Amino acid sequence: MSYRVLIVDDEESIRFTFQAFLEDAGYQVDTASNQEEALAQIQPDVYDVVFLDILLGRDSGMEVLRRSKDILSNCPVVMVTGAPDVSTASEAVRLGAFDYITKPVHQEDLLRKADLAVRHKALVDQQERSRLRMEAVFRSIREGVLIFDDDVRLMEMNQAASELFGCQSKLIGETLPDLMARPDCSAFRSFGELIEQRCEGEIYSFETINCRDERMTLSLSIAPLTSESGQETGVVMVIRDESRRT
């Protein structure tokens, strides 16, 4: 796979050198000499890494970074500087810069930064694709799904759960005790203790009332969420409306 790189620097010699080094390593390279050219070339999902000089003659590379922050959401930006200082570095990080490299730039350092940046982007892109796939699955499930974090705070609730309980997404972020205390969410009082006690498995056919005062016969399953290291990070609950299924 050939990665695409944008070099933004007002010095022609720097642009030429960076381009030669990167093209020899198999990258596709575009260049820009000022802020206007850079902003005209920066488009969503075009570049895998941007090398951006902090000083662009009369222009500011930091301004380019600021104005392109949303466009380059997953694209790492490596700032190029002759004399880095703490305030500049912290501002660049705040604006989303991935890293910086100092002049004079050696070939091995440039290629190492480029390799780290494209690897980082590939990982972020993969995570984003996984997140979108999971969101699509989450939205399409007919059963109600609720996800609580380790502090039993409601973090996610799909549309099926909202319709089932007659509640809205404004519940997101509330703790289970707060949900159980709400007069308009009596259903949570029916199974709140099961979640608090980390009960696992299937619970069949119990009756409750949703926020619309409709009587429901529900069954639910509760399972822990665990990290890769095996640490419990929350609880997921899947709810089925047995009366509607009948």
What is the C-alpha to C-alpha distance for residues 31 and 61, in angstroms, rounded to an integer?
A: 14
pLDDT at 1 (0 to 100)? 67
Q: Which residues pair with 53 in a beta bridge?
A: 80
53: its two tokens: 């000089």
Any residues with CB less than 8 A from the CB of 242 and at least 6 apart, and which? 204, 205, 217, 218, 219
The CATH number for 4-136, chosen from 3.40.50.720, 3.30.379.10, 3.40.50.300, 3.40.50.2300, is 3.40.50.2300
pLDDT at 194 (0 to 100)? 67
What is the C-alpha to C-alpha distance for residues 29 and 62, in angstroms, rounded to an integer?
A: 21
Query: Between the CA atoms of 35, 41, 45 and 51, what dihedral angle is there, to the nearest 10 degrees?
Result: -50
pLDDT at 200 (0 to 100)? 60
| Cα 8 to Cα 69, 81, 112, 122, 133, distances in angstroms | 15, 12, 18, 22, 35
pLDDT at 8 (0 to 100)? 96
- The CATH class of the 141-245 domain is alpha beta
pLDDT at 215 (0 to 100)? 77
The full set of domain ranges for the chain reads 4-136, 141-245
With contact defined as beta carbons under 8 Å apart, do 5 and 29 qualify? yes
With contact defined as beta carbons under 8 Å apart, do 210 and 236 qualify? no
Mean pLDDT by 10 residues, the chain (246 residues): 92 95 97 94 93 89 90 91 71 85 92 95 85 72 84 84 72 83 73 65 67 75 78 83 65
